[in-house]
Chain A
Amino acid sequence: MSLRTQRLVYLIAAVVLAAALLWGMSGLPEVGDYQGPYGDVLNAVAVTERHAVNVVAAVTFDYRGVDTLVEEYILFAAVLGVAVLLRAQRDEEERSLDDDVEGRRIRDTSTAVRVIGLALVGLHVVLGLYIVAHGHLSPGGGFQGGVVLATGLLMVYLAGRYVTLRRVSPQALTDAAEAAGAGGYVAVGLLGLAVGGAFLLNVLPLGTPGKLLSAGTIPLINLLVGLEVAGGFVLLLSEFLEQTLIIRGGPDDES
């Protein structure tokens, strides 16, 4: 196909697509115009039924808690897949954990990056814990807070070296945290089954709406999800870092 024909085909396709998009978007309801009944029902009943001020959390961790359970296991499986793909192959050998080992050609991290990284570690940990703990009160929760917590550990790597990251977050502990977070969610579900007769039934005391300890199982699940997500992301991060920093050899590596 000549360049001219290609351009012609592209132009026709672009015009048709643009027209279809405009046609479709012209029929959309106005911003803020809500039609469906479910949102209104939930807004009316969620706080009285579940004592969760953040109705979104009541939906994701209670009414549709099973969906979130599966979502958590999607992340779990993805992290597992990366760990399997990036494991040390037979023809690769592990280098010393020390970044200063002979033959490392990585440029030194600038002092500015180190200082800012160090300053951000504490902020990230506090913000992450806050977002995890207040999932049932304000926007956020285990998933978002977990990623922020893991970012705090990334800052540890940026401020120090890979060994520093390993020292504050040993492999065994990270694995255990991820597994405990994933398994704990199911355990909370089974608790509901045992006590109340339905999987993931909110059987813990509901408390006063708006208080930190309220909404029954929702903050507990948030905590477990936060543990799983933070552990999973740190695991992802260290698998990649190990690949680039430690493992050498293999057919393509001539270093």
Chain B
Amino acid sequence: MTRSATAKLRVYTALAGLGLIGALALGRPELAAIAAPFAVFVGVGLALARRPEVKVYSELERERQIEGRHVTAELEVVAASSVDRLELLLELPEGLEAEEPNPRLIRLLRGQRREIELPVLCAQWGAYEVGKVLWRARDAFGLLTFEGSGGERKWVKVYPRGEALQRLLRPLETQAFAGNQVTRSRGEGIEFADLRPFTPGDRIRRINWRATARRGVPWVNEAHPERNSDVVIFLDTFAEVRRRDTGTLDLGVRAAASLAAHYLEEKDRVGLVSFGGILNWLTVSSGAAQLYRIVDSLLDAEISLSYAWKDLDVIPSRTLPPRALVIALSPLLDERAIGALLDLRARGRDVAVIEISPFPFLDAGESETEQLALRLWRLRREALRTRYAALGVPIAEWREGVPLEAILEEVRAFRRHARVMRA
């Protein structure tokens, strides 16, 4: 706890001194009469001032929340001595906003315990430490200020809000485990594929009795089995473009969280590669625990400036399983990320690129030179898209405000109409 004198104390002391000196110099008791109240005020105020014994505790209602929702911070304040004016401030990092006044002023009587609930809006995804409370008390005469802090910092994880997706991008090939994706191969399943003659070992329940009656020999149904698939979300964290409180990385993180949640719901295995200045990865896995691992890993995603050249060799091979669909979320600003994606395609991987457009976060520029530079940059980016398309990589530009569903449909349309060349 710190104690400090206010400007009022210094001023009142000076006025008292100047008044008394003036009274002596001019021989006028009236000046002493108007200076004396200030002297008495300071003397009484300082004599009666007591150090406040304030204790503050804080607790968070929950440790995890979705972006855009609220978390309630519960503050408990207790004072061993009465405090007429106690200011309380819950320290909030950028990304969290108090929904009620913060700081606020309360009065505490001796021994009184007050509980205060402060709703906090989780405006931005991320991991935050919240809980430290700063307090400031003044004595009854406003001459001294006491400041201290209390409460324990705790982590609160704000997960990115997801988008609802009706249909997902399906990989070209599936895996061996049961899932929700209908495969092209034939075997046990629900979707009818074909008829074939009965062979020893076939199950009786698969016999198609109509075909058997018509042919006179047993025929069985064949179906398309449902299998799961592997999906790797490739998040480019080399660079981003931001405007105020949002940027391309925010869109990428939200899209990654949405895609991961929906694919895991379909019993697919999902992995994550955060490819940037700091390399982060999660091998493919399924289940609810994997979703928490992915979103926790996404909370750590940040742009870390790095000039070191990185290519696909730095990523462990088991992170990119064969026949996995790689969905890349990238603003295509850094050559290293561009090169890595082209390299992936060259190695025969199934790649789809969602280009997070940086243009909504840029100022167009006012001078002719700036606008010309912007046009040239647009042309370069279009040429890059053409290059990806020529290699058979579906690429769609995603601007802020456009639903992700629409972009996935654009990628699906490319895959339907393009001829995929395999290495």
Q: Are both chains from one complex? A: no
Residues of chain A at the chain B interface (Cβ within 8 Å):
none
Residues of chain B at the chain A interface (Cβ within 8 Å):
none
